[in-house]
Structure 1
Amino acid sequence: MVGGCALYSRLPISLLVIHYIYRSYYKKEQERLDLKAQEERIQESREAQQRITQMEYERLQQEMESKNRELAVSTMSMIKKNEFLNEIKKQLQSTDLDEVKPIIRKINRSLSNEDDWKFFENAFNQADQHFLKKIKKTHPDLTSNDLKICAYLRLNLSSKEIAPLLNISVKSVEVKRYRLRKKLGIQAKQSLIDYILEV
């Protein structure tokens, strides 16, 4: 009888211990599962953010490529227009008629039109946002004509392509390029275009 009472009195304590152990185990297990679920949510969030960043990067790349194409097309159309006007001007200058002089003056005004440069500069700045600001800051003594040549060289245009844009001869472009090299302090062995592209 005494042994039975002793067993009975020990039973609730052992049940309490077992209950405490199970409860402690399930609590830790639940905490582990919660932590795992939280880590999975963080990982999913991180992956979603990476996908958004990648999509944004691809969108910006496409936008940049589109702006570069627009810039190339507008530059080439300006070159062709100026070449055409220069050709007409030459033909008109070969005549001695007084009636053509006003037409030649109009052609000259069109060729030296700053609106073309403003249009180009705007398109250029959209495609290559920091170049003109950076080169102005690095070389504050550059003139507006120097900056134009820098922008055209940044597009890898040849002297022959630059000449109609500035309404000057190819030889004059070569002279301007030589003077620009001196202003920029470029060594003889370094390429002007490479320097411009690295800015």
Structure 2
Amino acid sequence: VVVLSQALVLFIFSSSSLSAFLMSMGLPAIPLVPVSSTQVVVGSVIGIGLVKGAREIKLKALGEIAAGWVVTPLAAGFLTYIALFFVQNVFKLPVFSGKVQGTPIRPDTITAVAENATEIDLILPAILAMAALAIIILIFLVFRQQKLRLKTENELLHQQNNYYQAQKTLSGMEVTAVHLENSLLSQKLETKRREYINIALNISSQREFLQSVAAKIDEIRLVGDQQQLLEQLNDLSLMVKQKMNFSDETEELYAQIELIHKDFRQKLANAFPDLTEQEKRLAVLLRLNFSSKEIASLMGISPKSAEIARYRLRKKLNLGKGESLTFFIQNL
């Protein structure tokens, strides 16, 4: 693109044929002026940068280039004037012969030039006006590009700030989640510790009870009277039966199970409000996949009664023939 634009500019401003063709068509002639190829290259590169939306156009470099284009001819003219002045006054050499292209200047020529001096050449002002217009447009585009760049940078900075705030909030939430998880773990550890303490105390209590039973049996073996022997055996049987009453342990077991499966009990109560408390406990045990024998032992009833309770629960849950009660409860 740079080479093409360079070729076109050099052709337009140096082609006498093109200028004559435009004049033959009644159009203004193109001024045939010397054009610097470096200026064309620099202008082409700047144009490409503006078209592609370059964000890093260096204003200082553009100012130096523009200043160079202006200063160079002025400096050349000044240095030429100094050099000619030095040659004429130091070396006494003529720098002006009074001839134009080998022809002496005559008074009639001066008169003719004076008569034509009233004509105004608009080519140079037009070129200067176009150059000024191009410079103004270029400055406007550069400032507009800078404004867009600043706007983009501000938006990017705002987005980065939002991202930082989001990361900060997320980090705070993660720290809170870690603290909450640690608290839950501490509670679970404390619960487990209490369970182990209860198990240890229960084992100790069972050992003491069995020791007392063994000591009681040893005493009974030494009794000779039949009536006294029967009385002591009855006392031992009553003591064992009382110890077999695990009502407190059973209630604690039910409390733990209901705490874990609280949502299930709530759903069961909402779906089937006619269920009794005993039937709800049976449903919870079935959800844990306990067998009828295990359910009978925990509920203090016979296996036959456990089967009857299961049958009644099926009826209240409106289960058809062939539907599994355990499967239905576990998928509720």
Class of the TM-score when normalised by the shorter of the 2 chains: 0.5 to 0.7
For 1:84, the equivalent position in structure 2 comes to none
Q: Normalising by the residue count of structure 1, what TM-score does the alignment of the two structures yield? A: 0.61
* Larger-Rg structure: 2
Alpha carbons of structure 1 residues 41 and 104: separation in structure 2 relative to 1, 3 Å: farther
CA distance in 2, matches of 1:110, 1:135: 34
5+ residue gaps, structure 2, are: 1-123, 207-212, 214-228
Identity %: 25
1:144 equivalenced with 2:277 (yes/no): yes
CA distance in 2, matches of 1:155, 1:103: 36
CA distance in 1, matches of 2:269, 2:154: 60
Q: Give matches, 1:101-112, under 5 Å.
A: 101=234
CA distance in 2, matches of 1:24, 1:55: 46
How far off is 1:43 after superposition?
Answer: 7.0
For 1:153, the equivalent position in structure 2 comes to 286
Alpha carbons of structure 1 residues 97 and 189: separation in structure 2 relative to 1, 3 Å: same
Q: Give matches, 1:12-161, under 5 Å.
A: 13-14=136-137, 16-34=139-157, 36-37=159-160, 40-41=163-164, 44=167, 97-101=230-234, 114-161=247-294
How far off is 1:9 after superposition?
Answer: 6.3
For 2:317, the equivalent position in structure 1 comes to 184
5+ residue gaps, structure 1, are: 82-87, 89-95
CA distance in 1, matches of 2:277, 2:241: 19
Equivalences, count: 176
CA distance in 2, matches of 1:106, 1:180: 36
1:152 counterpart letter in structure 2: L
Superposition RMSD in Å? 4.6
Alignment deviations for residues 96-130 of structure 1 (CA, whole Å, 9 cap, x no partner): 94445566556656656553343223212332221
- Equivalent residue of 1:189, what SS? coil
More helix, by proportion: 1
Relative contact order, higher structure (CA 8 A, sep 6+): 1
Q: Normalising by the residue count of structure 2, what TM-score does the alignment of the two structures yield? A: 0.40
Higher mean Cα deviation, 184-193 or 12-21?
12-21
Contact 1:159 1:173 in 2 (8 A): yes
Alpha carbons of structure 1 residues 36 and 131: separation in structure 2 relative to 1, 3 Å: same
How far off is 1:141 after superposition?
Answer: 2.0
How far off is 1:182 after superposition?
Answer: 1.1
Higher mean Cα deviation, 111-120 or 22-31?
111-120
1:192 counterpart letter in structure 2: L
- Equivalent residue of 2:262, what SS? coil
- Equivalent residue of 1:130, what SS? helix
- Equivalent residue of 2:327, what SS? helix
CA distance in 1, matches of 2:320, 2:289: 19
Alignment deviations for residues 153-192 of structure 1 (CA, whole Å, 9 cap, x no partner): 0111111211110112222211111111112111112100
Higher mean Cα deviation, 17-26 or 110-119?
110-119
CA distance in 2, matches of 1:167, 1:181: 21
Contact 1:154 1:196 in 2 (8 A): yes
